Amino acid sequence: MRIGVPKEIKNHEYRVGLTPASVAELVAAGHEVVVETRAGTGIDFADEAYTRVGAKIAPDAAAVFAGADMIVKVKEPQPQEIALLEPRHTLFTYLHLAADKPQADGLIQSGATCIAYETVTSNSGALPLLKPMSEVAGRMSIQVGAHYLEKEQGGRGELLGGVPGVAPCKVAILGGGVAGINAAQMAVGQRADVTIYDISNERLAELDLHFGSQIKTAYASKAAIAEAVTRSQLVIGAVLVPGAAAPKLVTRDMLKTMMRGSVLVDIAIDQGGCFETSHATTHDDPVYEVDGVIHYCVANMPGAVARTSAFALNNATLPFVLRIANHGAEAAMQADRHLAIGLNVSGGKIRHQAVAEALDLPFEAWAA
Ligand SMILES: NC(=O)c1ccc[n+]([C@@H]2O[C@H](COP(=O)([O-])OP(=O)(O)OC[C@H]3O[C@@H](n4cnc5c(N)ncnc54)[C@H](O)[C@@H]3O)[C@@H](O)[C@H]2O)c1
């Protein structure tokens, strides 16, 4: 198959759909790969790194789309990219269509087969292509939290792990899923005093077994959260109710009880945020203050560590890219129902029920 990798064009997006190592695997399997010039330069993948493993370099996105049957990207296609899609194309990328009607309309009109990373499932019911970004965001949340606790950044001037003779900071992690457990691992590594709150007793039991005495766990009742925010220097929001807006666990009133210069990191901001006072920020201007509490609410945290994120994403996507390339999208989806659940749009129809419902558009199941 001919596989195309355009340069990402969203503001401050440096990740790339395929790393040179992934291209090498595809070329070894007999496929052709065409990469847009400078697609990876932002994260130190020069064009030569791609040509060395057998890719061709194209001068622009139009040449990539014209010379490829499958397009592998990171972010949802922008209008100028949608205009280049044809019915023969398979598009494999994050789409997040439920809140993006114009994009959905464009993909419907293109006639292309569009498979969204975020709806591909696994045997355990998890979302394996979303997981690496939650891992990155979870781990990053502690390093940004620790940074903004510094006095120069407007924080309390406290070191997360304390020092001998000075107590460590208290870190409350709301939601003990993928992002939450990764945040906890980093916070424990920095010797913070960590408590994870969740409403799943099963999850709390797993966390208890996993961490032993390194952390505390607590059921995420309103009272427990109200108490947690009052005594924690760093609060991480990492809850998820799949398909729904994040519940507002920390209210404006609770915020008033927090210590001045403490820090909230709302990882769940991409689902609307779990603090009442959260609004999405960007890497250009990541924080703001409400009632003396610093809020970090960047909706694409992994973009800050684009090189790590590109590798992590490729580790998860490459097996699927190889299967689509080896067998074609139709046969690959017939053979793997989890990949088929990733199908959002094809033949001008919405193929994912939840996406159709969210957009109030007709749903037509894909027939193998
Ligand atoms: N900001 C970013 O850059 C970024 C990057 C990656 C992921 N995310 C987001 O991070 C969030 C967490 O993702 P994840 O992969 O860890 O999800 P997950 O499904 O693995 O974990 C979510 C956890 O939240 C718990 N939960 C649900 N409702 C709760 C409540 N009311 N109180 C306490 N706990 C509750 C669940 O039981 C679950 O354990 C999602 O919104 C995801 O989209 C954001």
Closest CA to 344 of 331, 334, 359: 359
Q: Which residues of the chain have pLDDT under 50?
A: none
Say if residue 198 carries a ligand binding annotation.
Answer: yes
* Pocket flag, ligand 1, residue 121 (CB < 6 Å): no
pLDDT at position 147: 98
What is the residue-wise DSSP string for 240-296?
--TTSPPP--B-HHHHHTSPTT-EEEEGGGGGT-SBTT---BBTTB-EEEETTEEEE
* Pocket flag, ligand 1, residue 266 (CB < 6 Å): no
Q: How far is the CA of 359 from the centre of ligand 1 (A)?
A: 23
Say if residue 352 carries a ligand binding annotation.
Answer: no
DSSP β-bridge partners for residue 193: 170
Contact 183, 197 (CB under 8 A): no
Positions marked active-site:
96, 270
Say if residue 269 carries a ligand binding annotation.
Answer: yes
* Pocket flag, ligand 1, residue 177 (CB < 6 Å): yes
Q: How far is the CA of 269 from the centre of ligand 1 (A)?
A: 10
Pairing of the two strands 70-72 and 90-93: parallel
* Pocket flag, ligand 1, residue 176 (CB < 6 Å): yes
Which of 135, 197, 225, 240 maximizes ligand 1 atoms within 8 Å of its Cβ, making it the mutation to test the pocket? 240
Protein residue with its CA nearest to atom 44 in ligand 1: 267
Q: How far is the CA of 298 from the centre of ligand 1 (A)?
A: 15
Whole-Å CA distances, 340 to 12, 125, 280? 31, 14, 32
Query: Where do the domains of the chain lie, and which CATH numbers do they carry?
Result: 2-120+305-359 (3.40.50.720), 131-299 (3.40.50.720)
Q: Which atom of ligand 1 is nearest to the CA of 127?
A: 15
DSSP state of 108: H
Strands (DSSP E) contained in 297-336 are none
Strands (DSSP E) contained in the chain are 2-5, 32-36, 56-58, 70-72, 90-93, 113-116, 170-174, 193-198, 216-219, 234-237, 263-266, 287-290, 293-296, 343-346, 349-350
Say if residue 252 carries a ligand binding annotation.
Answer: no
pLDDT at position 243: 66
Say if residue 295 carries a ligand binding annotation.
Answer: no
Contact 205, 190 (CB under 8 A): no
* Pocket flag, ligand 1, residue 297 (CB < 6 Å): no
Q: Which atom of ligand 1 is nearest to the CA of 130?
A: 15
Q: How far is the CA of 188 from the centre of ligand 1 (A)?
A: 19
Protein residue with its CA nearest to atom 42 in ligand 1: 268
Neighbour-count burial of 205, counting CB atoms closer than 10 A to its CB (0-12 exposed, 13-18 middle, 19+ buried): exposed
Q: How far is the CA of 4 from the centre of ligand 1 (A)?
A: 32
Contact 268, 238 (CB under 8 A): yes
Rounded CA separation 20/23 (Å): 5
* Pocket flag, ligand 1, residue 137 (CB < 6 Å): yes
Whole-Å CA distances, 39 to 7, 20, 31, 73, 300? 4, 11, 19, 10, 19
